[in-house]
Structure 1
C-alpha cells in the first residue's frame, strides 16, 4: 500500500495530453502547421524564430505574427479482461498560441522575439474511471520566451541564435485509496510553477533559387519546480492519517524538456510551388525518471520516484504550398512521429504511441501588409495496450485522437 500511494503522488509532472511524441505540442505556426509543421529548410517568415533562427536574417521586411490553435483531444481506455471497463476523457479545449516579431537592424542583421507554447494541454479522466488512483485530472501550461539574433553571412548563408526562458505551471490531481467517514475517497493535488533556460540555434543555406537547407537545434530545458504545494483533501480525520499526509507539505521536482535536432530541405520547382521535408531527432532519453522531493514525510518517505526510461525518437515530416494567385496559397502536409515510451512505461498522463498527422491550410493576403493563415491538423495515435506497470502506470488499452483548427494574423511593415 505504501508503494502504491507514493507512486500515485510521483506521476508525470508536466505531461498532459500533448498530441505529439512524449509530451510535446508541435503547433508553432499556422502556415507551417498547414504544411505538416515543416519549416526548418525553408523561409517560414517570422516563425523562423522557432523553426530556424538562421533563416530569420533573410527576411526583407519587418513583421509581426500572432496565432492560436484549438486543441480538441480525446483518449479512450479499456481495462484488461475480465473487467473490460471503459473510460473516455472529458478534456477542455487547449489553446496553444504563438506570437513573433522581427525587426531589421540593417540588411544583414535581424532581431526578433518569440513567445510560444511548445508544451501544454490538459487531460481529465474524472473520479470514476479504473485508474482514478493514478490520475483524475492534469492541467499544464508551458510558455517559451525567446529573444533572437540572426545574421546573414553571405547572400546564401545565414546563422541565428535565441535565448529561451521557459515558464509554466501544473496542477495534477489523483484519488487516494483511503475513504473518509462519508465513504468518499481522499484526494491528492500537486500544484506548482516551473521555469528553466535553454537556447535555439540554426543555420540556413540557400545555394540556388530552387533549393535550400536548414539545420536547427533547440536545447534541452530543465523545468525546475520549487516549493510546489501538496494538498490533501477528503482524507479520514484520524491522527494516524493526518501524520502520514501532513498539511502544508511542499515539493521540488525537475522535468527535462528534450533537445531537438532538425534537418530541413526545401525545394521550389516553380515560383508557385514550395515543397519541404524535415527530419527531427528528439533526445527523449534525457527523461530517465521523475523524482519528487517533499519537505515532510508523505506516507513514511520524503522522496517519490518513478522510472520513465524514454528512448530517443524521430519525427518525419513533409509539406507543400501552392500559390493559386498573389492573394491565395493552399497547403497540405503529413508526418509520422515515433513514440519515445517503451513497453511497460505507459501512463495515463501520456498514453503515448506512434502518431500519424495529416494537415491542410490556406493563406490569404488581405493587402500588401496584412495576411491571414488558417490550418487544420488531424492526429491519430496508434492503439496501444500495456499490461505492465514499471512506471506506476495503469494497465490497459489506450487510443487517442485530436482535431486541431487554428488561425493566425500576419502584419508586415
Structure 2
C-alpha cells in the first residue's frame, strides 16, 4: 500500500506539472512571446520589453520608458500512444491550454529601475479517457503554479547592469487514479483522489553586460523553491481489501523545484540582423527522491515513504536570429534542443516525454513608438519515449496493474503579446 500512495501522490508536483509545454521536465517556457519567436535563444541577453523581468532582471535597466507587457500562449498537443496492453490508449490526454503572463517596468532614475511580473512557471491539465490502459498509474491531473515577482535593477555603468527579484509561488493540484478492486476479492474499480497546495519563496538574479557595442552577454540564476504541500487523499468506491481504505486522510509532501542557470549572447551583426545563442543548465538531480508523510491511515500502514526518481541534470541549447525588415516590423526564428531529465527506467504515464526539438518563428509589429504587438509560433517534436511501469502490490496482489507503451509526442504553440510604453 505504501507504493500505491506514493506513486500516485508524486504526480501532484512532479509528473503532472509540465507534460507538454515548450519546456522539458517540469519546466514551462511560456513567459514571453517576443522571446518565443527565437526559441528563447537570447532570453538572458535581450531586453525587448518588460518580459525581460523573467528572462534577466538586470535587463530592466535597458528599458528607457515605463511600459506594460501582457499576453498569453496556447498549446495544442498531439499524443500518439503505442500501447502494449489490450486496453485503449487514445492520445487525447492533453487538452487545449492557455498560459497567461503580465509585466510592468519603469525607470526610477538614471541608475535604478523596478518592475512587477506575474507568470506561470509550471502548469498542466491532463485527462486520459476512462478506459486508458495505464489508468491505475495516472488518469487525471490538474496542477498550476502562479508566481509574482517584484524586481529591482541597477545600472553599474554604461555597460554593466544587475538585477534581483524575490518570487512568491503558489502551487495547487488535483490528481485522480483508479485502483483494481477485482484483484483483492472485490468488484469494479476504486477511485483515489489527491488535493494539495502550498506557497513557496525563491528569487531570480541576473547580470547583463554590453561586451562591445554589438555584443551583449547575460546570465540569469533562477533559485530553487521549497514546498511542503498539505492536503488530503481520498479513497472511494473501494471494496474487498481496498475497501478498508475508503475515507479521507491528511497528507504532506516535501518537494523542491530545482535551480537553473541561463546564459546567452546577442550579437548585432548590422542594422538589420541580430544573432542569438543560449544555453540553460537545470539541476534536475534534486529530484532524485521524494518523501511523503501521511496521517490517519488504517493501522498506520503508510508512514514515511520514499520514491526514487533518478532524474539527472541537463543542458538545453538554442540558437536564433531576428531581422529588422523596416522600422515597423521585426522577424524572428529559432531552434532549441531540450533533453528530458527522466531515464527510460523511471518514466511514467504522467510525464511520458523524450528529448525535444523546438522550431519557432515570430514577428513584432510597432505601429508607433508606444505600441508593439508580438506573435510567435512554435512546433515541438519529441523522440519516442518508452514507459514501462511495474504493477503495484498489496499483500502480494497486483491492485494496480503495470503498463507499458511508447509515446510519440508533438505540439503546436501559438503566442501573442502587446507592449504599451508611456
Rounded Cα–Cα distance in structure 2 between residues aligned with 1:219 and 1:184: 46
Whether the 8 Å contact between 1:296 and 1:302 is mirrored in structure 2 is no
Q: Which residue of 1 aligns with 2:331?
A: 330
Rounded Cα–Cα distance in structure 1 between residues aligned with 2:391 and 2:46: 42
Whether the 8 Å contact between 2:165 and 2:204 is mirrored in structure 1 is yes
TM-score by length of 2: 0.91
Deviations 1:303-359 (A, max 9, x none): 443211110001101111111111111111110001111121101111121100011
Residue 98 of structure 2: SS of its match in structure 1?
A: coil
Q: Which residue of 1 aligns with 2:11?
A: 12
Of 211, 216, 239 in structure 1, the residue corresponding to residue 215 of structure 2 is 211
Residue 31 of structure 1: SS of its match in structure 2?
A: helix
Rounded Cα–Cα distance in structure 2 between residues aligned with 1:337 and 1:35: 14
Residue 90 of structure 2: SS of its match in structure 1?
A: strand
Please state if 1:105 is matched with 2:108. Answer: yes
Rounded Cα–Cα distance in structure 2 between residues aligned with 1:386 and 1:192: 26
Structure 2 stretches of 5 or more lacking a match? 393-399
Rounded Cα–Cα distance in structure 1 between residues aligned with 2:76 and 2:134: 22
Whether the 8 Å contact between 1:12 and 1:290 is mirrored in structure 2 is no
Please state if 1:41 is matched with 2:45. Answer: yes
Equivalent runs, 1:188-227 vs 2, <5 Å: 188-226=192-230
Rounded Cα–Cα distance in structure 2 between residues aligned with 1:381 and 1:389: 24
Q: Which residue of 2 aligns with 1:94?
A: 97
1:8 to partner: Cα distance: 4.1
Q: Which residue of 2 aligns with 1:406?
A: 415
Residue 29 of structure 2: SS of its match in structure 1?
A: coil
Rounded Cα–Cα distance in structure 2 between residues aligned with 1:223 and 1:3: 22
* Aligned CA distance change for structure 1 residues 124 and 351 (closer, same or farther; 3 Å): same
Q: Which residue of 1 aligns with 2:251?
A: 251
Whether the 8 Å contact between 2:235 and 2:248 is mirrored in structure 1 is no
Structure 1 stretches of 5 or more lacking a match? none
Equivalent runs, 1:47-58 vs 2, <5 Å: 47-58=51-62
1:183 to partner: Cα distance: 4.6
Residue 307 of structure 2: SS of its match in structure 1?
A: strand
Please state if 1:141 is matched with 2:144. Answer: yes
Rounded Cα–Cα distance in structure 1 between residues aligned with 2:294 and 2:115: 40
* Aligned CA distance change for structure 1 residues 407 and 195 (closer, same or farther; 3 Å): same
Please state if 1:186 is matched with 2:187. Answer: no
Report the RMSD for the aligned CA atoms in angstroms: 2.3
Residue 5 of structure 2: SS of its match in structure 1?
A: helix
Whether the 8 Å contact between 1:249 and 1:296 is mirrored in structure 2 is yes
Number of equivalenced pairs: 407
Q: Which residue of 1 aligns with 2:397?
A: none
Please identify runs of 4+ aligned residues in structure 1 that moved more than 6 A: 390-393
Q: Which residue of 2 aligns with 1:274?
A: 274
Deviations 1:340-399 (A, max 9, x none): 111211011111211000111111113221111111111111102244649998432112
Whether the 8 Å contact between 1:347 and 1:394 is mirrored in structure 2 is no
Equivalent runs, 1:296-335 vs 2, <5 Å: 296-297=296-297, 300-335=301-336
Of 70, 74, 96 in structure 1, the residue corresponding to residue 74 of structure 2 is 70
Equivalent runs, 1:287-302 vs 2, <5 Å: 287-297=287-297, 300-302=301-303
Rounded Cα–Cα distance in structure 2 between residues aligned with 1:92 and 1:389: 27
Rounded Cα–Cα distance in structure 2 between residues aligned with 1:279 and 1:312: 13
Q: Which residue of 1 aligns with 2:395?
A: none
